[in-house]
């Protein structure tokens, strides 16, 4: 493990370490002294503020935060399973906004989990960290164990194929409590063929769906993240739509007839037909720049 010291003029401090699946870097945020961005092999994975875990920098994580806010009355605990650990950004948010929430975080890379635990510790005795493959660990969850399952898994910059199938969605369904919600971070662009297939796939398992996306991503004008939601019961779409519309990075919630039109030619993805998500444009998930967030979108303005 090596530390690259910061240089005068507000340059970032960089901590580098070889982990099980590549080179991890923790890059300090010159605008927020307690904040760090985690990258693996140059792909941004997470941004955390150790002093303020309610600060969510990435656009898609802010939308997942709105989902968490909408699922239960303020402060009420939720049982959450996070498939894809990174730097545990959303788990920290849940712990801060819903104290007493039992949470499971699944991370494939044990060395990466150790790096995060050492350098970016989270003081939450209710956080159960499990090292293993997301699909295998989903199967290991007790039936009905989670109110919310968040799938945010990338191998490099692509979602692994085995986490995109109807068989996997069925495993998640088993782990969810009655009325529980599946939330998936997807990445796609152009005609959104991958996302169309994912919506059709969860529709084969869950009766209610919604997709949260920025307008330019939804209409194919740029590559970006979309959050797919699914449940057997009504989703809190009106509350979620208000929060997303009022966010500094506004987005809309697509559902109902619009989603049915969106997926009318899409096939359900099975283990036999599954493929990873599309390759993003060069630099899309890369190192944060002075005026650009790790997703390739504008950074949050500095907060008082």
pLDDT (tens digit per residue) in 241-265 = 999 999 999 999 999 999 999 999 9
As separate numbers, helices (DSSP H) first and strands (DSSP E) second, the chain gives 9, 13
Q: Helices 59-70 & 89-97, crossing angle to 10 degrees?
A: 30
Residue 112 has pLDDT above 50, yes or no: yes
281-to-144, 187, 278, 284 alpha-carbon distances in Å: 38, 11, 9, 6
Closest CA to 87 of 126, 61, 68: 61
Taking residue 221's Cβ as centre, other Cβ atoms within 10 Å add up to: 12
pLDDT (tens digit per residue) in 154-206 = 998 899 999 999 999 999 999 999 999 999 999 999 999 999 999 999 999 99
Task: Return the pLDDT at 286.
Answer: 61
Domains and CATH numbers, the chain: 53-262 (3.40.50.150)
DSSP string for residues in 63-118: HHHHHHHHSSSTT----EEEE--TT-HHHHHHHHHSTT--EEEEES-HHHHHHHHH
- 188 forms beta bridges with 224
Residue 5 has pLDDT above 70, yes or no: no
Distance between CA atoms of 14 and 28, rounded to whole angstroms?
Answer: 6
pLDDT (tens digit per residue) in 196-232 = 999 999 999 999 999 999 999 999 999 999 999 999 9
Residue 303 has pLDDT above 70, yes or no: no
Work out the burial of residue 168: count CB atoms within 10 Å of its CB; fewer than 13 is exposed, 13-18 middle, 19 or more buried. buried
Angle at alpha carbon of residue 162, lines to 293 and 176, rounded to 5°: 85
Task: Return the pLDDT at 110.
Answer: 97
pLDDT (tens digit per residue) in 63-97 = 999 999 999 999 999 999 999 999 999 999 999 99
pTM, full prediction: 0.91
Question: For the chain, where are the E strands, in sequence order?
Answer: 2-4, 14-19, 22-29, 32-40, 43-49, 80-83, 103-107, 127-131, 146-151, 176-188, 208-213, 224-231, 252-255
Distance between CA atoms of 1 and 19, rounded to whole angstroms?
Answer: 10
The residue to which tokens 């869950």 are assigned: 206
SS3 272: coil
- 17 forms beta bridges with 24
């Amino acid at each position: 493990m090596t530390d690259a010291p910061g240089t005068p003029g507000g340059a970032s401090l960089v901590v580098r370490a070889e982990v099980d699946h590549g080179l991890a870097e923790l890059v300090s945020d010159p605008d927020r002294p307690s904040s760090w961005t985690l990258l693996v092999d140059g792909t941004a994975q997470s941004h955390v503020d150790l002093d303020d875990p309610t600060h969510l920098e990435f656009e898609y994580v802010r939308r997942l935060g709105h989902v968490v806010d909408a699922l239960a009355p303020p402060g009420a605990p939720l049982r959450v399973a996070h498939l894809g650990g990174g730097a545990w950004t959303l788990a920290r948010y849940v712990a801060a906004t819903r104290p007493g929430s039992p949470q499971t975080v699944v991370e494939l890379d044990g060395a990466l989990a150790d790096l995060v635990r050492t350098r970016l510790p989270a003081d939450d005795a209710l956080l159960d960290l499990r090292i293993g493959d997301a699909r295998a660990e989903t199967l290991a969850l007790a039936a009905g164990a989670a109110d919310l399952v968040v799938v945010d898994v990338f191998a490099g910059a692509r979602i692994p194929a085995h986490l995109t199938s109807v068989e996997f969605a069925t495993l998640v369904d088993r782990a969810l409590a009655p009325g529980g919600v599946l939330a998936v971070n997807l990445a796609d662009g152009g005609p959104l063929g991958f996302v169309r297939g994912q919506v059709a796939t969860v529709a084969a398992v869950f009766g209610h769906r919604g997709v949260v996306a920025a307008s330019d991503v939804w209409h194919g004008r740029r590559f970006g993240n979309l959050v797919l939601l699914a449940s057997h019961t009504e989703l809190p779409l009106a509350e979620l739509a208000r929060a997303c519309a009022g966010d500094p990075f506004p987005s809309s919630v697509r559902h109902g007839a619009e989603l049915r039109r969106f997926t009318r030619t899409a096939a359900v993805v099975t283990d036999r037909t599954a493929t990873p998500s599309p390759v993003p444009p060069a630099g899309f998930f890369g190192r944060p720049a002075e005026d650009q967030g790790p997703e390739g979108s504008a950074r949050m303005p500095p907060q008082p």
